Amino acid sequence: MELHYIILALIAGACGPTQAGINSQLGSMTGGPSIAATISFIVGTLGLLAFVLVSGVTWPPVRTLMVIPWWMWTGGFLGAILVFISIILAPKLGAATTLGLIVAGQMIASLILDNFGLVGYEEHPANIWRVLGVGLLLGGVALIKKF
């Protein structure tokens, strides 16, 4: 694995607990997680739109958008669920426990998606080592929560 991919993944990972904390504070100032998540997505959308405009990326033709399968439009909704739930959990569980559980959920879903080759992933069969890795992650979360 190339070093720059590892660095990008670590940066993206660091954004998770930081975003959850910021959005939780935003929620406490604006009346709740739904408003905070909405503001977060508006700001994120504006940031991505600015990036697209500055970088010169072109939009696909409308006819291409019209034939995209329905389930490919659900990614943003799943992101909204993630942000909404993290806003609720972060102040109750703390950053480490919240993000540890989110990562554990991501790993469990990843094993299933990989095992069956769903949503565009190549098949990577689940095996004892992969399942053990998720189990160790859950054990780590339990230790974080306890201590």
Q: Supply the pLDDT for residue 95.
A: 94
The reply to whether 72 and 103 lie within a common domain is no
DSSP character at residue 72: G
The structural domain count of the chain equals: 2
User: Do 60 and 127 sit in the same domain of this protein?
Assistant: no
| Domain shared by 57 and 78, yes or no | yes
pLDDT for 91 equals: 95
Give the model's pLDDT for residue 101: 94
pLDDT digits (tens, 9 = 90+) for 99-140: 999 999 999 999 999 999 999 999 999 999 999 999 999 999
47 Cβ neighbours under 8 A, 6+ residues apart: none
Domain check: are 2 and 58 in the same one?
yes
pLDDT at 97: 93
d(Cα 46, Cα 147) in Å, to the nearest integer?
A: 40
User: Is the domain of 1 the same as that of 29?
Assistant: yes
Q: Are residues 88 and 22 both part of a single domain?
A: yes
Taking only the tens place, the pLDDT of each residue in 37-82 is: 999 999 999 999 999 999 999 999 999 999 999 999 999 999 999 9
Last residue of a domain, one of 93, 118, 135: 93
List CB contacts of 118: < 8 A, sequence separation 6 or more: 112
Mean pLDDT, residues 10-19 taken together: 94
Does 31 share its domain with 67?
Answer: yes
Side chain identity at residue 82, one-letter code = L
pLDDT at position 1, please? 76
Cα distances from 79 to residues 37, 75, 82, 126, 146, in angstroms, run: 10, 6, 5, 25, 29
d(CA 40, CA 60): 25
Residues 107 and 45 reside in one and the same domain? no
Q: 71 and 6 in one domain?
A: yes
Q: Which domain holds residue 50?
A: 1-93
DSSP H helix total and E strand total for the chain: 6, 0
